[in-house]
Amino acid sequence: MKLACYIKKDRLRGDSRVEALLERLCASGHRLNTVSRTSDFLPETDALLSLGGDGTFLSAARLAVPAGVPVLGVNFGRLGFLSENDPDRVAEALSAGDFRIEERELLQVGCPDLPGETFWPYALNEMSVSRVSASMLGVDVDVDGERLPTYWADGLLVATSSGSTAYSLSVGGPICLPETKVFIVAPISPHNLNVRPLIVPETSRLTITLRSRDDRALLSVDNRNCAVPAGARIEVCAAPMRLRRLRLGQSNFINALRTRLLWGEDVRNSSNHDE
């Protein structure tokens, strides 16, 4: 296979674990090249290896999606939902063809105040708006033209199913299987108790407007941030393209929940527990 490699963290360059993986891949006959931008991809590249954690995977997605190359997340980080694969399994699985390609939905974020062509307006996990001072935000959301009650909160996020285990989870959103075709609308630290995260179809078009005493707010699209005026109008919908993700044979989302988040960790669920 012709493989591209992406490393974001400087501490991993020359790391013995990374070097060992690259040596195993070369010994297995794979052709490797390192990329830092989309133009670095060689023609007919089969996959991009994202070497790091989930933050590295999100940055790798920005390179891979325009190139149409699937991404394989190799875990050299901590939690690792997107970068779930053990480095020791990668070379053997790729050589044996023990993998499949899945597609993940992306969000598209439109706002006249985005910083031009330098800002990639797509998100695999989520987009969010948040306050920049002690003053709360009023966030108005229209879903396909229907106005929701105003959210008074520290901010608001819109997450994909892939992002349900990321920022959305930390603000009380539901966990969704990655193939679930929905978006999650969730307030961040709401100042009223009778609001809950809302699930909407992925075909929905959302319009977000802000009310604030400040003159600006913070807009985040995955791991990229920019300031926008407090009166900004933000459009959110499904992107016209998807991320292609390489999944090795034995990996699955439910197992990741068990091992990463210790889902169901209970002495009564132990196979060694006497009934």
Please provide the size of the chain in residues: 275
Residue of 54, 144, 215, 266 marked active site: 54
Phi-psi region of 253 (alpha: psi -120 to 50; beta: other; left: phi over 0): alpha
CA distance 47 to 109: 26
- Examine the residue annotation and report whether 54 is marked as an active-site residue of this protein: yes
Alpha-carbon 95 to chain mean position: 27
Q: Give yes or no for a contact between 123 and 111, defined as CB atoms under 8 angstroms apart.
A: no
Alpha-carbon 74 to chain mean position: 15
User: How would DSSP label each residue in 214-266?
Assistant: SSEEEEEETTEEEEEETT-EEEEEE-SS-EEEEEETT--HHHHHHHHS-TT--
User: How would DSSP label each residue in 67-124?
Assistant: HT--EEEEE-SSS-SSS-B-HHHHHHHHHHT-EEEEEE--EEEE-TTS-GGGS--EES
Q: Catalytic residues, which ones?
A: 54
